[in-house]
Structure 1
């Protein structure tokens, strides 16, 4: 039962994404298909998240403080910086010469507005809701923090489906899990994730 509870959000995301992928094949590019998948998954994931919080007796959100705004901006720029540093390391290691990265390259074939809305806004929100808001939080009910951070990061990286994206995603997911554990709020992982994706999108247009 505990395993099903942990993995059911991932299965939800996978099934909906596959359905959208089949319907969009030959009609929409990858970024638009990702956008539609995120929009389709979001209401179901949000409902599951609300139910989890209600069952756990989570308190209502606190008022936003200036410190929260500052920390949020740090997460946004920190995500961008982490992306650039880790991308540079992988480029130096020439990992792209040994494995295909066609899936990610297809995502970056869309127009800038589509990529911004899909990859910088919707994908981070939906993926963090699934992997940190649901998978990680549910793991924390039965496992220590360190183990939960590690396992959630592993699931997140493997879910990306190819070696290059998995290798890139794993250390980023460790940071996302640590942010969730430290701040106990989805806002900070979402901002970090958005910053990382923004740093991946913008260089293709400038």
Structure 2
């Protein structure tokens, strides 16, 4: 598309979100195969038990989504604070070109559901867990988080994604459930999509609503962190 010149660039911006969703769906197929192959090897090698990964209750899933939204909110605030060093304005212009004219439903399906699932299968289920086979979990968390940041291809998203990537891997390890990182990622992406309209609505009608929103997100994050730290122990975390 880029080789076509100006028309190709326009076509790229018009179709990038759709292409992201489609490639995400295609990528999941071989990556799930490799994950299952890795897991069989870990069980055979005694790295993990044969016990199935932990299951999350509906309430826990909801709490994890809130945590993901909170992580996204405060990571975005941090990136905005250092935005002058990261050329954040150029990134925001690019994102506007990609999302303008797209329905919220379409964006949530492609960027809030499909993309997070595909990326978690690659970066946490494959890369992080493979790194953990050869090193301590803390080192694997940081390295996989950096890989996740580099994958995003620009400095603004690189810093943001590296922070979140480390958090996603950490809580996957804490909970013993593969779906923890997926739900955290979905919560973060969906929140980032709905936040601009929500913030504009709150500023127009209830200016103090922004402060209340931040307090609620912070409370949800703290409650989730406390809950999941107390819920699991080291032995349970080694089932994945």
Smaller-chain TM-score range?
Answer: 0.7 to 0.9
- Mapped to 1, the partners of 2:59 and 2:175 lie a distance apart of 13
8 Å CA contact 2:55, 2:177 repeated in 1: no
Is 1:41 equivalent to 2:30 in the alignment?
no
- Mapped to 2, the partners of 1:94 and 1:25 lie a distance apart of 27
Is 1:104 equivalent to 2:98 in the alignment?
no
Is 1:199 equivalent to 2:213 in the alignment?
no
Shift of 1:72: 2.2
Shift of 1:185: 2.1
8 Å CA contact 2:145, 2:165 repeated in 1: yes
1:37-186 map, 5 Å: 37-57=23-43, 59=50, 61=52, 64=55, 68-95=57-84, 98-99=87-88, 100-101=90-91, 102-109=93-100, 110-186=102-178
Look up the SS of the partner of 1:61 in the other structure. Answer: coil
Look up the SS of the partner of 2:182 in the other structure. Answer: helix
Which consecutive residues of structure 2, in runs of 5 or more, have no partner in the other structure?
1-7, 44-48, 199-240
8 Å CA contact 1:29, 1:106 repeated in 2: no
Q: Which moved more, 1:115-124 or 1:51-60?
A: 51-60
TM-score using structure 1 length: 0.78
Shift of 1:63: 7.3
Look up the SS of the partner of 2:134 in the other structure. Answer: coil
Q: Which moved more, 1:179-188 or 1:136-145?
A: 179-188
- The residue that corresponds to 2:46 in the other structure is none
- Mapped to 1, the partners of 2:19 and 2:53 lie a distance apart of 35
Q: Which moved more, 1:101-110 or 1:166-175?
A: 101-110
Is 1:188 equivalent to 2:174 in the alignment?
no
8 Å CA contact 2:116, 2:185 repeated in 1: yes
TM-score using structure 2 length: 0.68
How far does the alpha carbon of each residue in 1:156-195 deviate from its partner, in whole angstroms, 9 at most, with x for none?
0011000000011111111011012212322000000000
- The residue that corresponds to 1:14 in the other structure is none
- Higher-Rg structure is 2
Length, aligned pairs only: 182
What is the alpha-carbon root mean square deviation over aligned residues?
Answer: 2.5
- Mapped to 2, the partners of 1:128 and 1:34 lie a distance apart of 14
In structure 2, the CA distance between the partners of 1:192 and 1:149, relative to structure 1 (3 Å rule), is same
Q: Which moved more, 1:136-145 or 1:90-99?
A: 90-99
How far does the alpha carbon of each residue in 1:50-94 deviate from its partner, in whole angstroms, 9 at most, with x for none?
1111222263536746xx333322211011011112212322333
